[in-house]
A and B are shown apart, each in its own frame.
Chain A
Amino acid sequence: MSVEELVRFDGEALGHARHTVLADLTLELRAGERVALLGPSGVGKSTLLAALRRRLGQRAAWCPQEHGLVPPLSVYHNIYMGRLERHSALANLVNLLRPRRDAWRDIQALCRELGLEGLLKRPVAQLSGGQRQRVAIARTLYQAREVFLGDEPVASIDPHQARRLLNMIQRQHATCVIALHQRELALTHFDRVWGLRDGQLILDAPARELTLEDLDTLYPDAHSPDASPEPA
């Protein structure tokens, strides 16, 4: 059986201009694979996701953290931005003044599923942190691409909701790479786990072969009280 390989890194160094964040990276992303990306903050998860995003181009839908949203614009417009490139500049401009009927219908349905109903006209600036994250997810779902790349999309959402959102994301995307900090979710909702620590990919294994203890090794102070895993 042959599985399509989407991206492959072969001993590559990733980083910014003069600063290498991830050295000697070797990994591959195959179609149909749901990957959880774990590691302490600042280790380079965002760098790896950005590199995947560059490689995948139009095939990937990108879900950044909430600061990728435009706070003064409404929820509707923020979600609409997921398909900004599919309309002409004029159509986009008109849509700012008067929402497109078809887009409004689709986005309304999407918002209902994400628990954002009734908020379409509200500026994102007036939403709570959890609601903003759901708007960011909605925008990414609205892009309707093959691969979902998410930078902690369920970070400040309660565990029950987080599971529901991950299910939604994965229903729409056979392939996804999602940075997480909830270790339990990595084991229950993903096929594969990539673990980063100290600028290296130190873990690349199928989720069913891993235990929570294995994942703890990724975090230098996993046993200190403030790094305790969230209650499942």
Chain B
Amino acid sequence: MSAERAPGLLAGDSLNLRLARRSLGLIALCLVLLPFADLAITTHDPWAELGRMISGLLRPDILATQSLPHAIALTIGFALWGTLLGVVLGFPLALLFPRSRLLRGSCAFVRAIHELFWALLLLQVFGLSAVTAIAALTIPYAGIFAKVYAEILELTPRAPVDALPEGVGRFSRFVYAELPMVWARLSSYTRYRFECAMRSSVLLGFVGLPTLGFHLESAFREGRYAEAGALLWVFYLMIASLHLWGHRRLLPWVALGSLFLLGPWPDIDGALLWRFMSVDLWPKPLLDGDLAGLWQWFGEIPDLLPAIGNTLLLGLMGTAGSLVVALLLWPLACRHFGNRPTRMAGKGVLILMRSTPELMLAFIFLLMLGPSMLPAWLALSLHNGALIAFLVARHADAIVPGSHALPASARYTYELLPRLYGGLLALLFYRAETIIRETALLGMLGIATLGFHIDSSFAYLMFDQAFFLLLVTAGLNIAVDALARRYRPREIADTIGEHDRSTGEATC
């Protein structure tokens, strides 16, 4: 009998080794493709710029922004009504969701297009109005609610239904024995989604809607950093105080109150709307049935393949970067490391980074570093990495350490990471869909992904081209989601629970 040989580097068939190989493969692929990415720093003195921004954050000027209260009210109003209408549409769809393939497909499609792209599209018909803002949130959210609510409803315990007397109608059964059993989950997800809506609502300012983001963007762009700093603080305060003013009993009043402030309301011209949907959005050769012309039309789309390539590349870099950031940062907020003050600070940093939307982070880095893929990469990695790190730290806190005290490095590598790694990777793969969605969006800042061409097509009023690019973006997003689903560590996804709060929180 020969002695068992020690295995080579990363050889073996255990789950963690397989996951380690998978993640190293991801990082290696990213490194190989890195030379194709444009990572130039084009500003003269990024550090000085950063210094000015930080001093603006430290010495905010709250009075510099005109009509700040109105911007705050609009931000909240849009988010609230966007979410509410999303629930109203999404809930009935969730009941049909398991039964209709067509519905599942349509929901995947509306979800795959970012809120801001919806805003750009709706802007063409409804102008800079409340309808544009609310519908831009409601449409994708209806698709998201339909899917997530359907998944939650699927998990309804059977026992109370079985215990009902014979002959109870479908509706009564639902409201008495099914809905109450999942109500807490539904409302906690809705609450979380409202928080996402707040962030998106701020971002709507980037396309010109008068929310907080509008003032934020102009203040940053014009170098008024004291004002920008103040607006950022207002934004963080709004998110952090959500549990105070976002109380269940208070929200209906906030919703009703904001209704009076919302606006402006557009004059909707039915004929124009119909023309936009039936003619403007489609390539003219297609409507004329001219196939040769259609081919030529395709040829006129600028840089389609490089744009797709850049989107995928940046998405890959963002995913790999998030993995590295998450691995480095999660101990910051975890009870097994450091002391109380360091943990508080670590948690604060993570919450700050995950609360700042990628677009905003990327925009700030862009001002610092100049236009290239670098600011986008940093923003994607930091935001998503921090978000995953925060959730992993929460999982880690639930682990009871072994009996003997280990040094921190051993605790990290031997005791905790082996138990957390699968969950971390599962979260990352869930997140991949969002990362690619954001990647396309970051093009609006001038980075050569699909979003750049969508933005400029709209700017040149080439609606057919913009719409086609939107479809390509959605298709790409759905494909990446399918791919990520395939490589997601399934064994773990099942044990941490597909509908675990944390995986839900990894979706926006």
Name A's B-contacting residues (CB within 8 A).
57-58, 61-62, 64, 67-73, 77, 81-85, 87, 89, 92-93, 96, 143
Contacts and interface: CB of A to CB of B under 8 A. Distances in A.
B163 A89 contact: no
B172 A92 contact: yes
A190 to B, nearest CB: 23
A89 B167 CA distance: 12
B177 A81 contact: yes
Interface of B: 157, 159-160, 162-169, 171-173, 175-177, 180-181, 183-184
B183 A72 contact: yes
Given A89-B171, A89-B172, A96-B175, A70 B180 contact: yes
B177 A70 contact: yes
Contacts, number: 65
Contacts of A83: 165
B165 A62 contact: yes
A93 B173 CA distance: 10
B167 A93 contact: no
Nearest to A142: B165
A96 B176 contact: yes
Contacts of A64: 159, 162-163
Contacts of B163: 62, 64, 68-69
Nearest to A67: B159
B92 to A, nearest CB: 16
B175 A70 contact: no
B180 A73 contact: yes
A198 B170 CA distance: 38
B167 A58 contact: yes
26 contacts: A57-B166, A58-B165, A58-B166, A58-B167, A61-B165, A62-B163, A64-B162, A64-B163, A67-B160, A68-B159, A68-B162, A68-B163, A70-B160, A71-B181, A72-B183, A72-B184, A83-B165, A84-B164, A84-B165, A84-B172, A85-B164, A85-B165, A85-B169, A92-B176, A93-B171, A96-B176
B162 A82 contact: no
> Counting chain B CB atoms within 10 Å of each CB, which of A61, A68, A96 scores highest?
A68
Nearest to A53: B166
Given A64-B162, A64-B163, A85 B177 contact: no
A96 B180 CA distance: 11
Contacts of A62: 163, 165
Given A77-B176, A89-B169, A89-B171, A72 B181 contact: yes
A68 B159 CA distance: 5
A69 B165 contact: no
Given A57-B166, A68-B162, A89-B171, 12 more contacts: A62-B163, A67-B160, A68-B160, A68-B163, A70-B180, A70-B181, A73-B176, A81-B165, A84-B168, A89-B169, A89-B172, A92-B172
B166 A70 contact: no
Shortest 10 CB-CB contacts between residues of A and residues of B: A68-B163, A85-B167, A89-B171, A92-B172, A64-B163, A72-B180, A85-B168, A67-B159, A84-B168, A70-B160
A70 B176 contact: yes
Contacts of A68: 159-160, 162-163
A84 B177 CA distance: 11
A198 B177 CA distance: 34
Given A81-B164, A84-B164, A85-B165, A92 B159 contact: no
